[in-house]
Amino acid sequence: MDNLHQLTITEAHQLLKQKKISSVELTKASLARLAKVEEKVHACVTISQDMALKQAAEADKIISNSEIEPLTGIPVIIKDNMCTRGVKTTCASRMLEDFIPPYDATVIQKLKAQNMVMLGKANMDEFAMGSSTENSALFPTHNPWNLDCVPGGSSGGSAVAVAADEAIYALGSDTGGSIRQPAGFCSVVGMKPTYGRVSRFGLVAFASSLDQIGPITKTVTDCTLVLNAISGHDPRDSTSAPYPVPEYTKALIPDLKNLRLGIPREYFVEGMQKEIRTSVETAIRKLEELGAEVDWEVSLPNTKYALAAYYILAPSEASANLARYDGVKYGFSYQDTNNMWEAMEKTRQFGFGAEVKRRIMLGTYALSAGYYDAYYLKAQKVRTLIKQEFDQSFEKYDALITPTSPTVPFKLGEKVDDPVQMYLSDVCTLPINIAGVPAMTVPAGFADGLPIGMQIIGRHFNEETILRIAFAYEQATEWHKRKPAL
């Protein structure tokens, strides 16, 4: 069969189950696709070809003998901030460029339990800090829809790997939009589950109260299958929620009868590209046609403080989390010095990139004596107000609909010297992490040949409603069927 690399999880699973293809054939097709397009897009930092073929051969043995799980034998690429035993985990940083973890993250263990095939690790902004994957210490990743443009970040490599058909699906992590914004920029499906729904054990920490792992897939159905596989309580993660995981595929109903949707006006920000406003409004009207009741006049007034609060909270947590990279226990260590203090200083000077240093300094300042109350404490209070505002809106609405990003993908290098402009790329996605609620993006159109995403936000632990809305919209439109001409 031709074009095996273009299959979705659902299609590949059926063919494997019927023994029309083997996992080894599927894996070889994905590896051939990687070899063909990787030099254009630069989505991966590590390609684990031998391991992938070995895992595929093992999956084929299982397929021939028993009932198989939905992800058995299906090739995946993992963002390079999730620990993979025996495979380098670099966080796209000089600090960890030779780090090989001795254990697997919980999500990797869960995928291995389904006999996944891991093709490699995806490029990202260093330590997940960025919105364009230009902050990788290794190389920038290119958007498959236009190679001169950014793919978004920080999970840019994961989104590109799926959009360019290098992998059937990928995992990303989302601290302020790092799954949704690149998925939107690459015209694929990306979900940030409720904080606590997916274990963070083995995820290299950036901001522990905001980080969440989630799927990046070609379709909404595929997203439910990956979410089923990775969700659930994990005693090794103290923030993991002890709630049962529903069967997400049951939420995939193609109509939206009896659903109330709110459209918060604050997300249609000043300066938003007019094609994005038009496309998302057209998408919302499609949701109305599918049976949803839509209120266009919703207000979440504290949204305007989210960006400022986020850039105090996230850097403060990063400052604490990244203190462990001192050149003593693991990772990069600068040796040519006279004493340990100089060694630590030089290790951090040469090990971290500019954006990571910027955020460590911002966070250290916000947490320092005399400034803690003025900045960090105030940001925590704002966080509470933002969360309360979401909670109140969900008493009235089943979900909120917004654009995923205020712009289409911008040119590589365009915002790299202007941190504030770069930070504004995540203005539609940040509040969701602050509130800890789930949200996802689905393809909703194009402007000048570049993708536009629509974001669906739901109440805590109600991923099913979000998936139902996303599925109904996807079934009624053709956007997800378009492929970049690589």
Catalytic residues: 79, 154, 178
With H, G, I as helix, E, B as strand and everything else as coil, classify residue 217. strand
Q: Which of 55, 233, 80, 102 is nearest to 171 (CA)?
A: 80
Tokens found for residue 432: 């969701």
Which residues fall within 8 angstroms of residue 67, CB to CB, at 6 or more apart? Answer: none
d(Cα 74, Cα 319) in Å, to the nearest integer? 38
Residue type, 360: I
End-to-end CA distance of the chain: 20
Q: Which residue has the tokens 């938003």?
A: 272
Residue type, 51: M
Contact of 130 with 151, CB cutoff 8 Å: no
d(Cα 338, Cα 240) in Å, to the nearest integer? 44
- Which DSSP state fits 77? E
What sign has the CA pseudo-torsion 462, 467, 472, 474? positive
Tokens found for residue 183: 């998925």
Q: Cite the DSSP H helix spans in 352-453.
A: 354-367, 378-396, 419-423, 430-435
